[in-house]
Structures are given as structure tokens and as C-alpha cells.
Amino acid sequence: MGNVEGCIFCQIAQGKIPSDVVFETDKLIAFRDIHPKSPVHILIIPKNHVNARLDLTQQDVETLPEIFLAAKEITRKEGIGERGFRLIANVGPESGQEVDHLHFHILGGKRLGPM
Ligand code: AMP
């Protein structure tokens, strides 16, 4: 799907909008959430646009395991790998997804209650 005009996360992935980047590869980028809901709140996104219908290409599918490896690396660096964290993706309207570009939230740094 490439980059979608007007998508804020595509613009972050392209470096057109500044963000607090904590991890990056050619396929994905991770940056701190602008409105953190826990002491550690980081978003991991594929650089390629994936919409809320999960219209995944083969390239997108190959990026998904790397997102989990990135989460492992990031949480270790942030000191929450052992303590535990939440790794979640809101997908589609009923989930409350606000940004229509697939993203995984890493939430941690405090005891997280039930959802
Ligand atoms: P969701 O509700 O799952 O779509 O989450 C979208 C998240 O993106 C929210 O937690 C927002 O605070 C976050 N967000 C929106 N714009 C930015 C931005 N420019 N930089 C960092 N995080 C953002």
C-alpha cells in the first residue's frame, strides 16, 4: 500500500513529522506516544501503511514477527522486559482505533489493571 496521503503515522515513518524515535529498522519504527497512558507508552508501526481492514501484503506479513522482536528489544532497553507490559493493537471502529495505520502499543512501567 506504500504511504497514504494525510496519514500521520506514514508521515512519522518518513520523518516528515517529528517523533521521539526509540527503535527503527528498514521495515518498522517505534516512537513514544504523544499522550502517554502509562510511564512507558511506545508505539511500534510498520513503515508501510496497513489499514484497519488489515489488508496485508506478503511484505507486511513478513514485518509482523519483526514487530515482536522489536518489542522484546525495546522493553529490555526500557527496563520493563522482566516486569511485564501490555502489547496491544486496536483494530477498527469498535476497538476505538484513532489512527488508521496499524500500530502496536507497548504499555508498562506500572501495574496495569484489567482492561
Ligand atoms: P489508537 O487509539 O490505538 O489508534 O492509538 C493512537 C495513538 O496514537 C494514541 O495513543 C495517540 O496518543 C497516539 N498519537 C497520535 N498522534 C501521535 C503523534 N504525532 N506522535 C505520537 N503519538 C501519537
Q: What is the pLDDT of residues 60-115, one digit of tens each?
A: 999 999 999 999 999 999 999 999 999 999 999 999 999 999 999 999 999 999 88
Testing ligand 1's pocket by substitution, the residue of 7, 91, 99 carrying the most ligand atoms inside 8 A of its CB is 99
pLDDT tens for 17-46 read 999 999 999 999 999 999 999 999 999 999
Q: Is there an atom of ligand 1 within 6 Å of 97 CB?
A: yes
* pLDDT of res. 115: 80
Residue nearest to atom 16 of ligand 1 (CA): 34
- Residue 70: its H or E element: helix 58-77
Measured CA to CA in angstroms, residue 56 lies from 39, 51, 111 at distances of: 31, 8, 33
| In the predicted structure, residue 1 carries a pLDDT above the cut 80 | no
SS3 104: strand
Tell me the three cell numbers of residue 30: 517505534
Q: In angstroms, rounded to a whole number, what is the distance separating the alpha carbons of residues 32 and 39?
A: 10
- Please name the residue that has the C-alpha cell 517529528: 18
Q: Are 14 and 66 in contact (CB under 8 A)?
A: no
Q: In this predicted structure, what is the pLDDT of residue 2?
A: 84
The total number of residues shown for the chain amounts to: 115
The DSSP code for 100 is S
